[in-house]
Amino acid sequence: METINSKSIVEACPILTALLDANRDFLLVANGTTNHCPMALIALARMGASEQRLLDFFESWKQHFAIPIAMQNQQIISGEWINYLGEVAAFHALQDYFYTQIRQRDVTSVLCEVIEKNAFTAASGAFHAVIRLAYGLAEKYDGEIAAGLAYLVSAHLPIRLHSISDKDGQLAGQRSYVSSVMQGLSNIAGQTFSQYEGDMITTRMRAVAADPDFIQHCPDLDFYADALHDLADAALQLYWQSPSFTALHMVTGVSAAGQIIRFLSAQLPRSLGQRLLRQLFDDLWPAFCAAYVVAGAVPLSPGLLPTQSAPLDLTWRECIERAIQSHDEHLIKMTYTCYLENGLCHSPMYLKVVQRLAFDGNV
């Protein structure tokens, strides 16, 4: 039986549309966190949550986390959108701008423009920007697609292996080349890095990206046929071995990046799609590696996954029902993501992860 909707559901769920639109009255930042509300609402709806459950979640989020926009402080976009890279205060104005552009043109051309001028910057907002964009694309909902693009621009966090401070290319010349994700992560795990300070994942990722040791020891990796699958598998292994918010965002972020890449691959001519796909991966790989370092660069042991058991022997449906009733937006998104990824690779490890989440009650 199909558990999660595979098609856009906004037209069939008017309350979801209304709540996504109402969320535009909230800032991108929230009390002690960032605005996960629209992503959690879409994940809940696609897992089969009732309209009342969506309303209850929205009201709870509004009460405990949402920060209303001060209308008089809203920025207005003038000139090129690229002039607002890294300006969080411009998020809502950028969302309006991209929404208008999508309506006047089309989603694919606007998305390609942002990626080609801004790069993929998958680390932006600790992967939340690509997650929100992927959810918007899945729903074919222009408002959330625009929000994801605005997030990529306003929370701009590029991670470059070819550092602009390394003008002579000396650090790049010292980096190794690897042929697989696991080989690359194994190389990184064998290095000693600094202790990166900061309460936020993005703060620590910026520190990693600016560290010459990371630029030197993060290997180059070209895109290959199973690269996205291997990234997803590595993120899952890391989360199973050493659960953390960073590892969780690597799982959900890689899944979202894969959704965006598959969307573009289906929309673009083959030659253009292949070129852009490689560009997307070139941006995704160092972001993933930086997050891996922030998460402790734990050596991955794939054999641990099939031998360790989860504390509760729940079915997918039972795990999903528990997630639907949760107010933990990370648990909701992680359960939804694991179900989606399981549908692509049919790995029993995704169920083990959500079984453990259901047992713990939080992430």
Asked whether the predicted pLDDT for residue 264 surpasses 60, the reply is: yes
The secondary structure of residue 68, as a DSSP letter, is B
pLDDT at 173: 54
Amino acid (one-letter) located at 204: R
Per-residue pLDDT, averaged over 60-69, amounts to 95
**Contact 145/133 with Cβ under 8 angstroms?**
yes
Mean pLDDT score of the chain: 89
What is the tens place of the pLDDT at every residue in 206-240?
Answer: 999 999 999 999 999 999 999 999 999 999 999 99
Task: Quickly list DSSP for 287-311.
Answer: HHHHHHHHTT-PPP-TTHHHHS--S
Q: Residues for the chain: how many in total?
A: 363
What is the tens place of the pLDDT at every residue in 154-213?
Answer: 999 999 886 444 444 555 556 789 999 999 999 999 898 888 988 899 999 999 999 999
Q: 38-47, 76-85, 132-141, 163-172: which range is least confident on average?
A: 163-172
Per-residue pLDDT, averaged over 253-281, amounts to 89
**Contact 181/234 with Cβ under 8 angstroms?**
yes
Angle value at C-alpha 119, between 28 and 262, nearest 5 degrees: 90
pLDDT above 70 as % of the chain: 88
Dihedral over Cα of 338, 129, 218, 281: its sign: positive
Strand 220-221 with 177-178, pairing: parallel
How far is it, in rounded angstroms, from Cα 15 to Cα 23? 12
CA dihedral 243, 334, 226, 191 (to 10 degrees): -20
User: Is 0.95 surpassed by the pTM of this model?
Assistant: no
**Contact 122/283 with Cβ under 8 angstroms?**
yes
Query: Residue 354 is inside which H or E element, if any?
Result: helix 348-360
3-class DSSP assignment, residue 234:
helix
pLDDT at 58: 98
